[in-house]
């Protein structure tokens, strides 16, 4: 059986986005605020992407777009929810 994940994440894009959020103070604090102020039923990562678009930060430091369709948003939602638990 072949491992089809990237460092435990769905793929490189998901791993890269989570890595930047977890290791950059501004991104981490922005993600936490998105969790805290998300409306009921609103995707946490979708809110984060909107916040980043509003502040003209469209990619990670490695050039992966925050809204890259390859990013597993359910996995990112779960990671962000755990930030405030």
Residue 55 has a pLDDT of 86
Q: Domain limits of the chain?
A: 30-81
* DSSP β-bridge partners for residue 59: 65
> What is the dihedral sign for C-alpha 59, 64, 70, 74?
negative
Could you give the CA distance from residue 7 to residue 81 in angstroms, rounded to a whole number? Answer: 20
Contacts of residue 16, Cβ cutoff 8 Å, sequence gap at least 6: 60, 62, 64
Rounded to an integer, what distance in angstroms lies between the CA atom of residue 39 and that of residue 16?
Answer: 26
Q: What is the pLDDT of residues 36-81, one digit of tens each?
A: 999 999 999 999 999 999 888 899 999 999 999 999 999 999 999 9
CA distances from 41 to 16, 19, 26, 29 (A): 25, 25, 25, 21
Whether the pTM exceeds 0.85: the reply is yes
Give the model's pLDDT for residue 2. Answer: 55
């Amino acid at each position: 059986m072949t491992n089809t994940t990237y460092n435990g994440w769905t793929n490189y894009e998901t791993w890269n986005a989570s890595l930047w959020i977890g290791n950059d103070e501004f991104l981490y604090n922005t993600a936490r605020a998105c969790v805290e102020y998300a409306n009921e039923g609103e995707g946490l990562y979708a809110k984060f992407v909107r916040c980043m678009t509003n502040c003209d930060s469209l990619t990670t430091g490695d050039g992966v777009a925050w809204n890259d369709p390859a990013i597993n948003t359910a996995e990112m939602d779960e990671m962000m929810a755990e930030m405030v638990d």
